[in-house]
Structure 1
Amino acid sequence: MGDGSRQEPAVWRIADGLPQKPALGFNSFWQIPDKIQNSLKVHFGRFLKKDAAGRGMNAEMSSEMGKASCTAAAPEVSLDRQLQAWRNNASWTDEPPEIKVTVPEGSLCNLNLRFKAGLPPDAVYNIIIDPENKRVFKNIKEVISRKVLLDEGSRQVVEVEQAAIWKFLWWSGILSVHVFVDQSRKNHTVKFKQGRTGFMRKFEGCWRIEPIFVDKEVCLPLHPCTLEEYESCTGGRGRVASAITLDQLIEPALLPPPPISWYLRGITSRTTEMLVNDLIAETARLRGFSSNADGKQDVEEIGGASEIPPGSECGDIKERWRQRRKRGRHGNSLRLTSQML
C-alpha cells in the first residue's frame, strides 16, 4: 500500500501521448539507455492510452448511471393530486367503446375493445383489481376464492375463481371461471389466463391502461412525454385520463356450428361490452364526487377500493348512463352484426 513503485499510471502527465515527468519512485527511469527508454515509452504510451479510454468509458458509464438514478429517484406523481385536478374540473364526455370482433380458426371469437375513461390510470387499475369489484361488474355473482400466489409490491399474481352469470335465449345460469391474474401497477396491465378447463378450453386476455394528458395544450409549445413532465408544465393542475384496451380470446371446449356459434358470438360480445360499460359508468360516478356531500369517501374508495355507500346522486348518474347505453344499443348491435358477418 505504501510502496511508491505501485503508483497508478493516472499520476503521469501526458503530452503527445507520452509521459513527460515520472511519478514518485521512477527516478531511475531516465537513466536507462535511450533504446530501452524509447521502448518503454512506447509501452507505457499504449498503456496510458488504454487507461484513458477506459477512464472515458467509466466516466460515460457513471454519467449514464447518474441519469438512471435521477430517473429512478424522480418523485412519483401522486394519485391524490391527479384526483384533485378532476375535482377542480370534472368535465368529460364518455363515449361508447369501439369493438372489433375476429374469429381465429378453432375459436369462438377474439374481442378487442378500446375506450377512454375520465380518471387516471391508477384509479381505473384499482377498480379492475379490486377483490370486491362485483359491485361494479354486474355479471359477477360472487368471488368463490382468491389467493395471492406472488407479491412483488407493484406486481402480484393472483389465483381467482368467480361465479359468472350467463344468459342464452331463455336460458340462464351460473358459470364458474377459474383464472390466474398477473397484475402490474407499474405498467398498468392486468393479464388473465384460464386455469382449470371446463366449459371453455381457452379463456385469456389482457387489460392495458395508458395515460391521456387532457390539458396538454397548457404546455404548448412543449409536448410532455411523461407524467412527471406533464405535472411540471401544468403546475400539477393538469387532468390525466385513461386510454383502455381489452383483448380477450374465447375458445369453448366444443365449438358449435352456425348459426348457434353466431348467437354465442353475439352474446359474448354484448356481455363483454356490458362489462366495459359497467367500468365506464363507475368512472363516471367517481368523477362526479366533487358535487357529492360525501366526497371524501369517494376519494378513499378510488385509492383503496373500499365499499361504496349508496347515494342518490350515484343512482342518478348510473340511471343516466343506462339511458345512454339504451339509446346507443341499436347502433352498436348493427355494427357488431356487420363485423361478425
Structure 2
Amino acid sequence: MGSSNREPVLSLRTDGWLQKPALGFGSLLQIPDKIQNSLKVHFGRFLKKNGFGGGSEAEMLPMQVQGTCTTVAPEVRLDKQLQAWKNNPSWSDEPPEIKVTVPQGSLCNLNLKFKAGLPPDAVYNIIIDPENKRVFKNIKEVISRKVVLDEGPRQIVEVEQAAIWRFLWWSGVLSVHVFVDQNRTNHTVKFKQGRTGFMKKFEGSWKIEPLFVDKEACHPLDPCTLEEYDSCTNGTGRVGSSITLDQLIEPAMVPPPPFSWYLRGITTRTTEMLVNDLIAETARLRGLANNAIDKQYVEGKCDTSRDHLTEECNDIKERWRQRRKTGRHGNSLRLTAQG
C-alpha cells in the first residue's frame, strides 16, 4: 500500500514517553470535511493577519481557500447560487422599509431598504437590463440608450426613457434623461440626471450586498465573505441580497402645501411600486409567486394602464368596489343600531 495510507509512526523518546508525530498538512485529510474547511478558513485568516508566508505548508492553506473564488467564472458562480435556490426555494418576501426626508429646496429624499431571495448578480442583472421596462411598470419605453464608457465590469450608460406620471386628476408621460454608472464588481448602480426639464434634480443609487441566508449551518463560525460561506456550507448555502435604494427628487418648481404633501406621497408610492416590481421579478425567477406582491403588481398595472384594463384588473377593481360598498352599508347598519 502507498505511504499515504500508513498509520503515523510512533517512537520512544529518550525519557521513555511516546513521541507524537508532527501535525502537518497531510493530517488534515483525516479530519471530516466540514471541520477541515473551517480550519482552512481560520488558519488562512491567522496567517494573513500575522504576516506569515514562508513558502511551505503555511502558504498552501490560504492559497487553496482563495482559489475557490478566483478560478470560478462569475457566470458559473451565479448558476451554482441559483441552483441552491432551486434546491431550497423557501423564502418570505417582506415590504421595503421606507424613510422619507425633505432636504431644503427639494421635494423629498427617499431611502428604501429591503431583501430579495436571489444572489446580488441576479438582482443586478434585472436593474441594468436594457429591456427592464417589462419588470418596472412605470417605464413606458426606452427612447435611447448609449454606452459612453465600457471598462468591462463597469459601464457608464446614457439613457433617455419615458416614465408614466399621475398627479391629482392628470396623468401623462415624462421624459427622463440620466447617466447611469453601473459597476458589477461592487454591485452598485448610480444615476444622475443629464438634461434638466420637469425635474431640476433627479439622482440616486442602488446598492446590492450579499445576504447569507443559511449561515446558521456554519455555526459557531460567522462567515464574512462568499468564499468562507461557500466553504463552511459545502457549496449548498443560499445567497440572497440586501438592497438599498437612495433617491433624491427635486422638481423645477416645488408646489406649496398641501400639494407638495400630496405629490410627495405619490412619489413615495411610485418608488415603492418600483421596488415591489423588482421583488415580484425575483419571486418569478425563483419559481415562487408571492400572492401579496402579485396583488400589488396587478394593482400598480391597473393604475398605470387605465386605458387598457385586463380581466385581472377589472376583477380587482370590482372587489374593491364591493369592499367599499360593504363598508358603507356596514357603517350605516352600525349607526342605526346605535341610534
Residue equivalent to 1:154: 153
Q: C-alpha distance in 1, partners of 2:213/2:224?
A: 13
TM-score when normalising by structure 2: 0.66
Residue equivalent to 1:139: 138
Displacement of 1:316 in angstroms is 7.8
**Quick check: 1:281–1:321 contact (8 Å CA) kept in 2?**
no
Residue equivalent to 2:231: 232
Residues 256-308 of structure 1, C-alpha deviation per residue, up to 9 Å, x if partnerless?
A: 1111111110010000000000000000111117xxxxxxxxxxxxxxxxxxx
**Quick check: 2:276–2:297 contact (8 Å CA) kept in 1?**
no
**Quick check: 2:145–2:157 contact (8 Å CA) kept in 1?**
yes
Residue equivalent to 2:71: 75
Residue equivalent to 1:220: 219
Residue equivalent to 2:91: 92
Asked if residue 201 in structure 1 is aligned to residue 209 in structure 2, the reply is no
Q: Rg: which structure is higher?
A: 1
**Quick check: 2:273–2:297 contact (8 Å CA) kept in 1?**
no
Displacement of 1:70 in angstroms is 8.5
Q: C-alpha distance in 2, partners of 1:235/1:324?
A: 42
Moved over 3 A (4+): 60-63, 66-73, 314-326
Residue equivalent to 1:127: 126
Identity %: 75
Asked if residue 182 in structure 1 is aligned to residue 191 in structure 2, the reply is no
**Quick check: 2:273–2:296 contact (8 Å CA) kept in 1?**
no
Residue equivalent to 1:210: 209
Asked if residue 278 in structure 1 is aligned to residue 274 in structure 2, the reply is no
Letter of the structure 1 residue corresponding to residue 202 of structure 2: F
Displacement of 1:74 in angstroms is 2.7
Q: C-alpha distance in 1, partners of 2:299/2:115?
A: 16
Residue equivalent to 2:167: 168
**In structure 2, do the counterparts of structure 1 residues 163 and 323 end up closer, same or farther at CA, with 3 Å as the change threshold?**
closer
Letter of the structure 2 residue corresponding to residue 220 of structure 1: H
Letter of the structure 2 residue corresponding to residue 75 of structure 1: T
Please report the RMSD computed on the Cα atoms of aligned residues, expressed in angstroms.
Answer: 2.8
Displacement of 1:75 in angstroms is 3.3
Letter of the structure 2 residue corresponding to residue 231 of structure 1: D
Residue 172 of structure 1 aligns to a residue whose secondary structure is strand
**In structure 2, do the counterparts of structure 1 residues 163 and 247 end up closer, same or farther at CA, with 3 Å as the change threshold?**
same
**In structure 2, do the counterparts of structure 1 residues 195 and 96 end up closer, same or farther at CA, with 3 Å as the change threshold?**
same
Letter of the structure 2 residue corresponding to residue 74 of structure 1: T
Letter of the structure 1 residue corresponding to residue 214 of structure 2: D
Q: C-alpha distance in 2, partners of 1:61/1:251?
A: 54
TM-score when normalising by structure 1: 0.66
Q: C-alpha distance in 1, partners of 2:134/2:115?
A: 21
Q: C-alpha distance in 2, partners of 1:69/1:209?
A: 28
Residue equivalent to 1:287: 286
Letter of the structure 1 residue corresponding to residue 250 of structure 2: E
Q: C-alpha distance in 2, partners of 1:316/1:267?
A: 24
Q: C-alpha distance in 2, partners of 1:68/1:247?
A: 38
Bigger drift between 80-89 and 255-264 goes to 255-264
**In structure 2, do the counterparts of structure 1 residues 156 and 264 end up closer, same or farther at CA, with 3 Å as the change threshold?**
same
Letter of the structure 1 residue corresponding to residue 70 of structure 2: A
Number of equivalenced pairs: 242
Flag the structure with more relative contact order, 1 or 2, with Cα contacts below 8 A and sequence separation at least 6. Answer: 1
**Quick check: 1:285–1:317 contact (8 Å CA) kept in 2?**
no
